[in-house]
Amino acid sequence: MGNLDGKVALITGAGGMKGIGRACAMKLASQGADIAISDFKREPKDLPPQEIKAQWRSIDSVAEEVEALGRRCFKVWCDLTDAAQIEDMVSRAVGHYGHIDILVNNARAIIGRDRVPITELREEVWQRFLAINTTAVYLSTKFVAKSMIEKGKGGRIINIASDASKRAKPMTAAYTTSKFAVIGLTQASALDLAPHRITVNAVCPGSVNTDRLNYWEEAQAKTQGVSLKEFRARIVADAGKAVPLGRIAEPEDVAKLVAFLASEDAAFITGQAYNVNGGTLFH
């Protein structure tokens, strides 16, 4: 079917209807991989309006799409702020398939509550961003890499970082710090795991046209008396004007690079952090 036949990919944060995780699941499945997906059970207030309208069912809906491609899909609900749940997620996925060959650390904390100056940033918000965006990546990498080493067949670990991993913006101290740390973790774990033929790389998207809830956008839409959908459309249009290629990224743009890094064509690439931003940032 494709260059990932016989491989198993575990993807975190994969339940969004228009998210990077879903796009990665579909892309890797289209290349022949069987899929394990996880996400956090969100409250209705934390669901994008488009998902509610479409009666989207998070990883249940994604699993049906993967299976429609003729690939297997294993679902695990997981709170990434809980180390025991992360270890259980990996253990269950390995137990189901017998191995994990590809890990995509995609999940991130819902942004928006960090959009304040550092003098007003609440410690619990800071800690949540570090827990989900950084510590969960470390723990998932640790547990999956142990399994990969035990199997002795190498592997691929791909961390979804951000252009915020390389360049800070005002009022993003928690998010930026957590994503800068992902690059350091990528480089250090790449060196640790290289003797086992496990590569570790990061993908750094700029703005991406997803529907994941953003608390700041929600508040701004309410203040301006417009729907969240209308406000987000403005944000997407305005952001696209600043991109040399004329638009912001779609989730599929990110998934294509993830699929390359997961393939044998990327066997000699490790410790790198690749931009997917239409030319807005070059280093």
**Predicted pLDDT at 217:** 72
- Tell me the backbone φ, ψ of residue 100, rounded to 5 degrees: -125, 130
The pTM for the full model equals 0.93
Return the percentage of the chain with pLDDT > 70, whole number: 98
- Answer yes or no: 175 catalytic: yes
Question: Under CATH, to which class is 8-210+250-276 assigned?
Answer: alpha beta
pLDDT in tens, 122-155: 999 999 999 999 999 999 999 999 999 999 999 9
Return the percentage of the chain with pLDDT > 90, whole number: 81
**In the predicted model, what is the mean pLDDT of residues 13-20?**
95
Please say if the pLDDT value at position 219 is more than 80.
Answer: no
Please say if the pLDDT value at position 214 is more than 90.
Answer: no
Q: How many residues does the chain have?
A: 283
pLDDT band at 50 (very low <50, low <70, confident <90, very high): confident
**In the predicted model, what is the mean pLDDT of residues 67-73?**
98
Please say if the pLDDT value at position 195 is more than 60.
Answer: yes
**Domain-wise residue ranges, the chain:** 8-210+250-276
**Predicted pLDDT at 235:** 82
**Predicted pLDDT at 1:** 47
Cβ-Cβ contacts under 8 Å for 88 (sequence gap 6 or more): 76, 78
- Answer yes or no: 169 catalytic: no
Could you tell me which residue, 190 or 214, shows the higher pLDDT? 190
pLDDT band at 220 (very low <50, low <70, confident <90, very high): confident
**Predicted pLDDT at 216:** 67
DSSP string, 233-267: HHHHHHHHHTSTTSSPBPHHHHHHHHHHHHSGGGT
**Predicted pLDDT at 276:** 98
* Catalytic annotation, pick one of 175, 222, 241, 274: 175
**Predicted pLDDT at 227:** 81
pLDDT band at 7 (very low <50, low <70, confident <90, very high): very high
* Catalytic annotation, pick one of 7, 18, 179, 274: 179
pLDDT in tens, 158-181: 999 999 999 999 999 999 999 999
Cβ-Cβ contacts under 8 Å for 175 (sequence gap 6 or more): 109, 111, 114, 129, 133, 162, 164
What is the rounded distance in angstroms from the CA atom of residue 37 to the CA atom of residue 16? 11
